Structure 1
Amino acid sequence: MFERFTDSARRVVVQAQQEAQELRHERVGTEHLLLALVREPATPVAGLLAGVGLDHPAVRADVRRLAGGDVDGPALAAIGVDLDAVREAVESAFGEGALERKPATGRRERTRSRFAADARRTLELSLRETVRLKGLEISDGHILLGLLREEQGLGGRVISGRGVDVVRLRQEVEAALA
């Protein structure tokens, strides 16, 4: 399927994998595809997304909040939890770096993340959007259309949580692709 992807669409897929790795997520989901779409602000798709309030810092903050990836140190400190003391106690009992995610013993670390079902579905929908619009290649705009159509994953939750008018954004993306 990737042979029909434009260079920009391939970059989105590679950058989605990088986003998942940077966030220490085991699978690439729709949230990582969305992060990849807004990662390079100079692209037309990222410009459309920025126009509705979706830029890389905002999306990343929402992904971390919704995926539970950030620990709120000040909030924990307010209830008497000292994160440094917890880390020190865990590392003294289990060794340095015990709180860091690592592959299971005996397994090599994967260099590429696997795609979650919602991300695979989004990529499939991007192909369907390309066919529907009578395109020959799948671009980053088609990936965005697939993401907007998928709706179930975390990427869709980030978009809806920002109050984006999805119908209008779809129209703008389709106009940009025409």
Structure 2
Amino acid sequence: MFERFTQDARDVVTGCVEHSERAGADSITEEHVLLAMLDQEGTRAAFAFAALGITHRRASVEKALADARRRGGLSKADSDALAGLGIDLAEVVSKIEETHGQGAMQVGRKSKRWWSGHRSFTPEAKSVLEKSLRIALGRGDREIGGEHVLLALTARPGVVADVLAEHGATYETVERAMFGGGAAKAG
């Protein structure tokens, strides 16, 4: 699949590895993919971020991602579902951190890196790349560009899609910013 990536999509992959390394993470997550995309300039995805005002709100995006990590990776939908059951997630996190220290709920997946020397992609991050292929094919594109990766990030439920949506970047708004109206959503 990597041979079908355009240069900007390859740059995203390289960038997400660098973000993972800087964070000291064992693996590459969807969050690292998003942060690498935010680093880009002169691409369709960068244009969409600028058009939607996200470029100037990067600190807000990063804070929202950090807050989600603090909650153990639970999405807004997860938090809302727990609230519907009478469980205040913020209170639960506070109590856990009182007992076990700041960031006690942060998810830390162990990867195969110990034997390979490389950080692996989490299943969710791999799924984003696979989804970007389906989106490219659905649009009739022969290559996978950063724009397809960004659309895939917005199309998969989870923390990254929630954070993007909170900042005005849904599948539909991103697609409209990059391609104009009338394009069909790929499965």
TM above 0.5, yes or no, is yes
1:100-125 CA distance string (max 9 Å, x none): x9x9xxx5783x32111111111011
Which residue, 39, 64, 70 being the options, matches 2:66?
A: 64
Equivalent residue, structure 1, for 2:89: none
Equivalent residue, structure 1, for 2:163: 158
Shift of the alpha carbon at 1:135? 0.7
For 1:49, the aligned partner's letter is F
Equivalent residue, structure 2, for 1:21: 21
Is the Cα–Cα contact under 8 Å of residues 122 and 147 in structure 1 kept in the other structure?
yes
Shift of the alpha carbon at 1:165? 4.4
Shift of the alpha carbon at 1:65? 2.5
Equivalent residue, structure 1, for 2:177: 172
- Alignment identity in percent? 26
Residue 115, structure 1, aligned to residue 117, structure 2: no
Equivalent residue, structure 2, for 1:10: 10
Which residues of 2 match residues 60-99 of structure 1 at below 5 A? 60-68=62-70
Is the Cα–Cα contact under 8 Å of residues 32 and 155 in structure 1 kept in the other structure?
no
Which structure 1 residue ranges, 4+ long, deviate > 4 Å from structure 2? none
CA 1:53/1:65 → structure 2, altered by over 3 Å: closer, same or farther? farther
Larger radius of gyration: 1
Separation in 2 of the partners of 1:139 and 1:17? 17
CA 1:68/1:173 → structure 2, altered by over 3 Å: closer, same or farther? same
How many pairs were matched up? 142
Q: TM-score, normalised by structure 2?
A: 0.65
Separation in 1 of the partners of 2:132 and 2:124? 12
Equivalent residue, structure 1, for 2:97: none
For 1:146, the aligned partner's letter is A
- Report the secondary structure of 1:136's partner residue: coil
Shift of the alpha carbon at 1:28? 1.3
Separation in 2 of the partners of 1:124 and 1:155? 16
Separation in 2 of the partners of 1:66 and 1:156? 12
Is the Cα–Cα contact under 8 Å of residues 30 and 156 in structure 1 kept in the other structure?
no
Q: TM-score, normalised by structure 1?
A: 0.68
Which residues of 2 match residues 41-60 of structure 1 at below 5 A? 41-55=41-55, 56-60=58-62
Unaligned runs of 5+ in 1: 70-100
Is the Cα–Cα contact under 8 Å of residues 155 and 171 in structure 2 kept in the other structure?
no
Equivalent residue, structure 1, for 2:92: none
Q: How large is the RMSD of aligned CA atoms in angstroms?
A: 2.9
